């Protein structure tokens, strides 16, 4: 199968095409809009991609709609088998997928490997959960005189329809694999809007599904340059066959897409940004907590919505913990590279704003190591009006706060527009549990990093971090609807 054929631009570089109905779509280089995909570290164009027009986006929806008529009638067992087979293909192509992700997003090799392994784990868990798609038989009501109503009522689950999946560039493998697998497991078909920053990576993932035997038209792939993205996205959402959207990305873009969905009365599953707090209680293992907090802050240059962005420390252990944390940060003199110069500049600007508003830096500060890499940083004395207080930095920095007691720590942690991921560090599970129950976050990790994920447990954001759930049967249910049949 030639999924990514040797299409070339005028300057001889490869071109990532649009893919629909089982075939890469040829294009006229004289009339088709291409956009460059740039490796941020080398600051060079590594390939181009075709930018979809609304007409090609609609054609992808048509292909998914046609395929849905057959795919919806497949059995969960059939879909489970194909998903397991696709997971096997992803494993065999691990190095190729990693290479594409590293080239397009500048992530470290270790992070790319974790992405592939995590994606495979999610695929296999979702495949196993297809057997959990079940209906129910509710009890019948009674007549006013107490006589039971004759007949039968059953509730069945059906696939919602065509789904627009919009995955991000960070978590460029694990997140699209999870999203696509959930949609397919429910019996729905996909229009995947690949990220403009890593279109080749996303196309390679779809190739794995195709090689596993997914029928033509069940997964279709488009991408668009940023100037075209809004128009193309609305064309897909407005399409009558598209019944739901799965978006993973920033709160700002999520708000825009959510408004378009509301306009067209389409539901949306959103996993958005975070400002992850890690609470260090007075009975915590300080060395372990410091290491996990530091790792959560600097992993992949801090470009994770699950990153540890805030550390809240009980006053009785604050001074000792800070000493340990500073020593731990010294083990990470660098944290990799940002996906783009613009992303690195944003992280830098947030730290400059904090400094101008009175913040201090225990380690690092607003300082570039290169055009795409910032020095790992610990921020203290954060003004309530500083951007860093509740804006994602998407850089390798963390703010530290002192709490008078548990209630104060909880209040500081909850004082955020976000509610995605948090952590609590304590030597007592009961103590940590009591605090965790009061945190307004979809996930709370005890004595672990905020960046964790478990394929067999639901994952969600609350408040400004999104709507709906992903993973396993919870994610599958997002793309199915209950229908009541009454006789």
Residue among 196, 210, 234, 271 flagged as catalytic: 271
Choosing from 188, 198, 305, 478, the catalytic residue is 305
Distance CA 469, CA 466 (A): 9
Contact 161, 186 (CB under 8 A): no
Q: Using an 8 Å Cβ cutoff, are 118 and 101 in contact? A: no
Q: Would you call 440 a catalytic residue per the annotation? A: no
Burial of 326 (0-12, 13-18, 19+ CB in 10 A): middle
In terms of C-beta distances under 8 Å and separation of at least 24 residues, what long-range contacts does 431-440 make, across chains too? 431/281, 431/283, 432/281, 434/406, 435/279, 435/281, 435/406, 435/409, 435/410, 438/410, 438/414, 439/277, 439/279, 439/410, 439/413, 439/414, 440/414
Closest by alpha carbon to 212, among 181, 238, 188, 243? 181
How many other C-beta atoms are found inside a 10 Å radius of the C-beta of residue 169? 23
34 backbone dihedrals φ, ψ, rounded to 5°: -110, 150
Residue 211 and residue 487: Cα distance in Å, rounded?
43
Q: Are strands 268-271 and 34-39 parallel, antiparallel or unpaired?
A: unpaired
β 44-50/469-470 pair status: unpaired
Q: Are 266 and 258 in contact (CB under 8 A)?
A: no
Has 305 been annotated as catalytic?
yes
Alpha carbons 167 and 251: distance in angstroms, whole number:
14
Residue 225 in tokens: 């340059």
Residue 193, both tokens: 């809007």
The whole-angstrom separation of Cα 192 and Cα 168 is 11
Tokens coding 278: 């890690």
Q: What share of the chain is helix, strand, coil (3-state, %, to 5)?
A: 40, 25, 35
Q: Which residues does residue 158 pair with via DSSP β-bridges, in sequence order? A: 481
Kindly state the tokens that stand for 58: 């609609």
E strands present in 214-353: 219-222, 242-248, 268-271, 276-280, 308-314
Structural tokens at position 123: 């695929």
CA dist list (Å): 83 to 4, 93, 336, 368: 21, 15, 33, 43
The catalytic residue positions are: 271, 305
């Amino acid at each position: 199968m030639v999924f990514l054929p040797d299409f070339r631009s005028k300057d001889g570089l490869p071109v990532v095409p649009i893919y629909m109905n089982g075939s890469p779509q040829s294009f006229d280089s004289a009339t088709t809009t291409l956009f460059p995909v740039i490796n941020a570290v080398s600051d060079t164009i590594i390939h181009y991609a075709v930018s979809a027009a609304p007409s090609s986006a609609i054609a992808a929806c048509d292909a998914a709609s046609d395929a849905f008529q057959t795919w919806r009638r497949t059995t969960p067992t059939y879909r489970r088998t194909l998903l397991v087979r696709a997971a096997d293909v992803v494993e065999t192509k691990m190095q190729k997928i990693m290479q594409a992700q590293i080239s397009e997003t500048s992530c470290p090799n270790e992070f790319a490997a974790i992405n592939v392994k995590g994606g495979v784990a999610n695929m296999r868990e979702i495949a196993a959960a297809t057997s959990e798609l079940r209906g129910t038989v509710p009890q019948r009501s009674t007549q006013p005189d107490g006589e039971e109503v004759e007949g039968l009522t059953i509730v069945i689950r059906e696939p919602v329809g065509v789904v627009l999946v919009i995955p991000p560039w960070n978590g460029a493998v694990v997140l699209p694999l999870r999203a696509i697998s959930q949609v397919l497991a429910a019996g729905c078909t996909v229009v995947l809007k690949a990220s403009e920053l890593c279109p080749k990576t996303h196309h390679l993932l779809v190739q794995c599904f195709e090689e596993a035997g997914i029928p033509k038209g069940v997964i279709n792939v488009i991408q668009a340059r940023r100037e075209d993205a809004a128009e193309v996205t609305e064309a897909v959402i407005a399409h009558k066959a598209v019944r739901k959207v799965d978006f993973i990305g920033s709160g700002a873009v999520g708000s825009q897409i959510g408004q378009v969905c509301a306009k067209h009365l389409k539901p949306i599953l959103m996993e958005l940004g975070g400002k992850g707090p890690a609470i260090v209680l007075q009975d915590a293992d300080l060395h372990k907590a410091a290491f996990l907090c530091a790792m959560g802050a600097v992993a992949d240059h801090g470009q994770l919505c699950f990153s540890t962005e805030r550390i809240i420390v009980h006053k009785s252990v604050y001074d000792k913990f800070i000493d340990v944390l500073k020593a731990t940060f010294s083990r990470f003199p660098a944290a990799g590279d940002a996906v783009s110069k613009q992303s690195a500049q944003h992280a830098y600007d947030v730290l400059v704003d904090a400094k101008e508003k009175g913040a201090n830096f225990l380690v690092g500060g607003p300082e570039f190591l290169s055009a795409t890499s910032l020095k790992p940083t610990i921020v203290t004395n954060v003004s309530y009006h500083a951007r860093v207080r509740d804006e994602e930095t998407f850089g390798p920095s963390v703010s530290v706060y002192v709490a008078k007691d548990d209630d104060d720590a909880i209040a500081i942690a909850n004082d955020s527009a976000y509610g995605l991921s948090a952590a609590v560090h304590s030597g007592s599970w009961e103590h940590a549990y009591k605090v965790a129950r009061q945190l307004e976050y979809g996930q709370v990790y005890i004595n672990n990093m905020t960046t964790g994920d478990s394929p067999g447990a639901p994952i969600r954001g609350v408040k400004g971090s999104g709507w709906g759930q992903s993973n396993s049967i919870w994610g599958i249910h997002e793309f199915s609807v209950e229908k009541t049949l009454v006789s």
